[in-house]
Amino acid sequence: MTSPDPSPRASAVFLLDQVLGDGRLMPEALAGGALQRLDPADRARAQRLALDTLRGLERADRLLSRHLRKAPPLHVRNVLRLSTVEICRGGDAHGVVNDAVSIVAADKRRAPMKGLVNAVLRKIAAEGPAAWAKLRVPRLPKWLRAPLADAYGAPTVAAMEAAHFAGAPLDITARDDPAAVARMLDGALLPTGTIRLSQGGQVSGLPGFDAGQWWVQDAAAAIPARILAPKPGERVLDMCAAPGGKTMQLAAAGAAVTALDISPARMERVTDNLARTGLEARTVIGDALTHEGRYDAILLDAPCSATGTIRRHPDLPHAQDGSNYAELMELQARMIDRALGLLAPGGRLIYCTCSLLPDEGECQVEEALARHPGLAVVDAGALDLPGLTPDWITPEGGLRLRPDYWPELGGMDGFYIAVLTR
């Protein structure tokens, strides 16, 4: 006899156990089949519950500490955390409490704690919602907050944290006609051409998805390809292509695109996305550091800390500790050097990272300029796109995007972008 499918709440707790217990990023847990037994709607709900809990973790722990003499085992604590966040955000307390008790009772080892869970959550239901809003905006962990405060100052970091806590709307890039797609989906057309939807839901069920009229891509992530602005027929290398958003932008512009990625599984996603959208690109599975060829333009979205994506991926600061960042920065420098060797005379290289750390952006470009005589940052006029402001241009000539920008529009991911030529 097979066991019944888990509820979205139980599945969300499982994701929290993976992130907070095993240090796994949520995409890794999802790729491992964490939600495979759920239907699409429940899968989306489980992810949303887990993400909301991670964003509100600090507040949940502060509220729970008032009712716990000592911390229970992690699984039980995660049940309490998820339930607290859901109740304090307006969830049906009766249903949340009953489901939480059932989740704990389903595990023989933890079943004796179901009474504790019931008692604590009933207190949260009575007192939590009023106390929730009085708590401070959850902060980044010290290992990440400290270098960001050094780079931007404490008030700016606080504004970033507020953007992280608010979460991210669903952004999409249209293949052909952004205005028409925005009308079809009742979305807002942002100044840079991205379409922003106030309601998320199951992406594959939205109009136009199956027809390949659009793909999911944060507004900031769509800017590098817009800045590159390839001409029809130009030979362009997307150097770290997966999952393919920038590849599709470049192909839609008419470029002769080579999409390169070292991961066969990730390249499969690029291939699937190209097929769905009806766009063409040459796909290559290989190491960027040994790739051969000659290109008019290269887009290098280098492997990085991904600290600019926390508003969409609140699991990141809980699953990482920054210990591998020096290794990533060394790889970024090697990739820049290799990309420059693949450029045709007069070609241009876009270097970008979805990182908030200057060591992965501004500093990488400054060091590349020092290593390569004749290398230059293209005039800041190349970064003059609708929706961007001159204040975002950095001293070395790159573009710094931050989560606290566009607060009235719903924010954007953190990104660094520079255009290099020689």
Q: CA separation (Å) from 165 to 12, 57, 161, 241, 402?
A: 18, 10, 6, 29, 14
| Of 132, 158, 183, the domain-final residue | 132
Q: In this structure, what CATH number is given to the domain that contains residue 416?
A: 3.40.50.150
- The predicted model gives 390-409 an average pLDDT of 95
Q: Are residues 241 and 94 in the same domain?
A: no
Q: Are residues 250 and 120 in the same domain?
A: no
Q: Are residues 227 and 362 in the same domain?
A: yes
Reference 418, options 374, 373, 360; nearest CA is 360
192, part of any domain = no
- The predicted model gives 393-419 an average pLDDT of 95
pLDDT at residue number 286: 97
Looking only at Cα atoms, what is the longest distance across the chain?
71
For residue 358, give the DSSP letter.
G
Does pLDDT of 40 surpass 80?
Answer: yes
Mean pLDDT of all residues belonging to the chain: 94
Instruction: Encode pLDDT of 151-180 as tens digits.
Output: 999 999 999 999 999 999 999 999 999 999
Q: Are residues 244 and 393 in the same domain?
A: yes
Instruction: Encode pLDDT of 310-340 as tens digits.
Output: 999 999 999 988 899 999 999 999 999 999 9
Instruction: Encode pLDDT of 178-236 as tens digits.
Output: 999 999 999 999 999 999 998 766 788 899 999 999 999 999 999 999 999 999 999 99
Question: What confidence category does residue 305 fall into, taking pLDDT thresholds of 50, 70 and 90?
Answer: very high
Query: Which distant-in-sequence residues (6+ apart) come within 8 Å of 408 by Cβ?
Result: none
The residue count for the chain: 422
Query: Which distant-in-sequence residues (6+ apart) come within 8 Å of 379 by Cβ?
Result: 397
- The predicted model gives 383-410 an average pLDDT of 93
Q: What distance in Å separates the CA atoms of residue 316 and residue 312, rounded to the nearest whole number?
A: 9
Q: What distance in Å separates the CA atoms of residue 106 and residue 322, rounded to the nearest whole number?
A: 36
147, part of any domain = no
- The predicted model gives 371-382 an average pLDDT of 88
Domain housing 380: 219-421
- The predicted model gives 29-45 an average pLDDT of 88
Tell me what percent of the residues of the chain surpass a pLDDT of 70.
Answer: 98
Placement of tokens 């939600």 in the chain: 35
Q: Are residues 242 and 375 in the same domain?
A: yes
With 0-12 / 13-18 / 19 or more C-beta atoms within 10 angstroms meaning exposed / middle / buried, residue 391 is exposed
Q: What distance in Å separates the CA atoms of residue 81 and residue 89, rounded to the nearest whole number?
A: 12
Q: Are residues 230 and 98 in the same domain?
A: no
Number of domains in the chain: 2
Q: Are residues 110 and 243 in the same domain?
A: no
For residue 306, give the DSSP letter.
-
Question: What confidence category does residue 83 fall into, taking pLDDT thresholds of 50, 70 and 90?
Answer: very high
205, part of any domain = no
Q: In this structure, what CATH number is given to the domain that contains residue 87?
A: 1.10.940.10
Q: Are residues 239 and 363 in the same domain?
A: yes
| Of 98, 132, 166, the domain-final residue | 132
Give 160-225 as a DSSP string. HHHHHHH---EEEEESS-HHHHHHHHT-EE-TTS-EEES--S-GGGSTTTTTTSEEE--TTTTHHH
82, part of any domain = yes
190, part of any domain = no
- The predicted model gives 235-258 an average pLDDT of 97
271, part of any domain = yes
Question: What confidence category does residue 1 fall into, taking pLDDT thresholds of 50, 70 and 90?
Answer: very low
pLDDT at residue number 31: 85
Reference 203, options 194, 193, 213, 192; nearest CA is 213
Does pLDDT of 2 surpass 50?
Answer: no
Query: Which distant-in-sequence residues (6+ apart) come within 8 Å of 1 by Cβ?
Result: none
Q: Are residues 126 and 233 in the same domain?
A: no
123, part of any domain = yes
154, part of any domain = no
- Annotated active-site positions, please? 354
pLDDT at residue number 200: 65
| Of 90, 112, 132, the domain-final residue | 132
Whole-model pTM over 0.75: yes
